[in-house]
Chain A
Amino acid sequence: DAEITQSPRHKITETGRQVTLACHQTWNHNNMFWYRQDLGHGLRLIHYSYGVHDTNKGEVSDGYSVSRSNTEDLPLTLESAASSQTSVYFCASSGTTSGGALYNEQFFGPGTRLTVL
């Protein structure tokens, strides 16, 4: 069965370190998304990609970067981790219609809980 996986599931790091969270999907979806979930804020969009070599900033992109070198993966990098980036991170993907429109139904990974000390 197709799926979307995230690794690691839990990560503890120190302030100032670079951290990369992995996201891998086997749906063959063009569109991939990164969100962070914080109490009282719901899910907020960090970055997204509509295809290989395409990346776009979301609502809370400062301090984060992504690159898309293939269809299956969209790693999220925290260039210099800060305590404010302690959160649960979710990756999601969605398909595209034959006409090129975005399928809005997104499939979510299980999440990565990141703690920055």
Chain B
Amino acid sequence: ELKVEQNPLFLSMQEGKNYTIYCNYSTTSDRLYWYRQDPGKSLESLFVLLSNGAVKQEGRLMASLDTKARLSTLHITAAVHDLSATYFCAPGRDDKIIFGKGTRLHILP
């Protein structure tokens, strides 16, 4: 059974700082997603990582995947208030994806 552990679950940080969210998963996965969710809203796809060593960047966010360690990271560079949201990692296997518990990111101006 595919299990996902995401940490930290809550992160409060100052604007301008860097931080990393970690996502560990328990068994082989053939893809991994990062999603963003704003309060009361739906999920927005940020990154799809399909292979070992994959790295993708969009603005101040960068995601990476190490399939051997079963670890993905989401790195935030020089955080800004607009990045405040909940971030979910979701590894996938066969027809389904399993969401981590999410990291509630609060960026203080």
Q: Do A and B bind each other?
A: no
